[in-house]
A and B are shown apart, each in its own frame.
Chain A
Amino acid sequence: MEIKLTRRKFLLTAGTIAVANLLPPPVDSEAMVSSNSFATLIDLTKCDGCKNYSVPLCVSACKEANRDKFPEPDRKMLKPYWPQKFFDDWSSKRDVIDRLTPYNWIFVQRIKINKEGKEEEIFVPRRCMHCDNPPCAKLCPFGVNKKHPEGPVTIDCKLCFGGAKCKDVCPWGVPQRQAGVGVYTYLDPLPVGGGVMYKCDLCFDRVKKGQNPVCVNKCPKNAISFGRREEIFAKADLLAREKKLYIYGKEENGGTSTLYLSPVTFEELDKAVLQENKEKKQVMRFHKPKNMLDKYKNLAKLILLSPFVAIISAFISAKKVNRED
């Protein structure tokens, strides 16, 4: 009896240690995003919105490069998401370039601001921020929205169900849905799914080959720079200090891999964007969103502890009852 008890105690301790080792200690958040991953810097002092072109070159380059990935919906499937009365269809509006759509993964925001009494225009190329702790990817119920160690956040179009949860949990509402494509079409007439979500994938196929995303290369003003996170972040800090610019994207949503440099504060830009798009349902803002997962980080850590609390208290209470017998 004695021996068995000690053996069990031994197994329990060994098991506890094994499990504890499986969980690397919660490291300081910044440290977990590799400094070797990729990041983008978008310098708003340089971007002029391609005023001399009919379509900004980053936008046309992106459309051109991703043409084969754009959805070709099955007409029969373009019907309301029962019991709802609507469905998301952009297939007849492929030319829209003033917002994100399944056929437009980057757009240029034109923001009028007042600088020392003068009206000025600021142009902002907007796309997915490729966040460090992206709720869109981490909360996808099928795990097909993925955060890669290299930095990009991508959606697997072949397996996406189109529930649009990623769009709802993204503080900027980035992913866009197209009905009539994807796995849900095989389940028709079951009223599940809604299509496929689309967004910028940071030209992941190119990045893996050591190339830049196409929007970076096509910019005539060199407003977008792309490279290793460490270098891009250092460059942003330096420019911000030297030219007295403001940075966006470093803290927002718990940190992202896309930094904006602006001559005016982002509070001001945010106000102006909201003002100009009052009637629109969806506006891509410059607010300061908190990361939804970070907010409940401590609760999450508590969960990781609960098996140990349970094992210890069961061990103790089982012994007590044994003595009573």
Chain B
Amino acid sequence: MKGNNNKVYRHTKLEIAIHWLTAVSGIALIISGLGEMPMYKRYNITKLPFLSFLGSYEINLVIHYLFASLFIFAVFFHIVYHLRRKELSLLPKKGDLKESYLVLKAIIKGEKEPPHEKFLAEQRLAYVAIGSVSLVLIITGLIKTYKNIGPVVLNPDFLMIVTLVHTVFTMFFIILFVLHIGAFIVKDNRELLKSMFTGYVKYEYAKRRHPKWIEQIEKTSK
């Protein structure tokens, strides 16, 4: 087992860096993306201190462009990196739907959760959800960006669908983002939150909540 005795190594520095790059750029994309819609002026958000810049479509476009390139970098890096290292513990397994229901029920009722692997069943499902929504946003975003590099005239009906998908998937992205943050209302999950900064979780925590994960680490390190 990596780390010293009462800590378990959960995320590498690189993984942490990539996660926060997605998080920061994802949030900036939500803010600047909504700024590409006629919203902030209408709802007087531009009148709040320091936020008047949000009223400019031009500034929002530049912010959106900048963070889109970072977001795309982080997402593609993540996919290729972990595929190449065969680190697939975030991919859903059979029975995850049922298990995540049981976990949720246990959390709500304050009962004991079923034993977890490295990630909870709902994390694996959420991963696929936010991952595919992100990919759709990236693909449609790339098409939207491509048509902006000059007088490129693509089929307007195709572009309408691309644009509507980009806009609607933004709503999905925001919902998943809120759920992702909302997960840290559950006290046990805050141990995981710490790990996204330090890279470690406490051994007692892991042993109690993620016994299947610990079992696996202990097996391979022997």
Residues of A within 8 A of B (CB): 8, 12, 23, 26-27, 29-30, 32-34, 81, 83-84, 132-133, 137-144, 146-149, 156, 163-165, 168-169, 254-255, 292-294, 296-297, 299-304, 306-307, 309-311, 313-315, 317-319, 321-322
| B37 lies within 8 A of A310 (CB) | no
Quick one: closest B residue to A137, CB to CB? B156
Query: Once bound together, how far apart are the Cα atoms of A254 and B153, in whole Å?
Result: 14
Query: Once bound together, how far apart are the Cα atoms of A29 and B153, in whole Å?
Result: 11
| A164 lies within 8 A of B38 (CB) | yes
Specify the main secondary structure of chain B where it touches its partner: helix
Shortest Cβ-Cβ A-B pairs, 3 listed: A143-B163, A163-B38, A143-B160
- Nearest CB on A from B180, distance (A): 22
Quick one: closest A residue to B162, CB to CB? A143
CB-defined contacts of A310 to chain B, threshold 8 Å: 72-77, 80
| A311 lies within 8 A of B72 (CB) | no
| A297 lies within 8 A of B149 (CB) | yes
Binary flags per residue of B189-210, CB closer than 8 Å to A gives 1, else 0: 0000000000000000000000
Contact of A311 among B62, B80, B160 (CB under 8 A): B80
| A83 lies within 8 A of B43 (CB) | yes
Q: Which of B43, B69, B85 has the most CB of A within 10 A?
A: B69
| A299 lies within 8 A of B62 (CB) | yes
Query: Once bound together, how far apart are the Cα atoms of A134 and B63, in whole Å?
Result: 20
- Nearest CB on B from A238, distance (A): 24
Given A148-B156, A163-B37, A314-B81, the answer on whether A140 and B163 have CB atoms closer than 8 Å is yes
8 of the cross-chain contacts (CB-CB < 8 Å) are A8-B83, A29-B151, A83-B42, A133-B150, A293-B150, A294-B150, A296-B62, A311-B80
| B77 lies within 8 A of A314 (CB) | yes
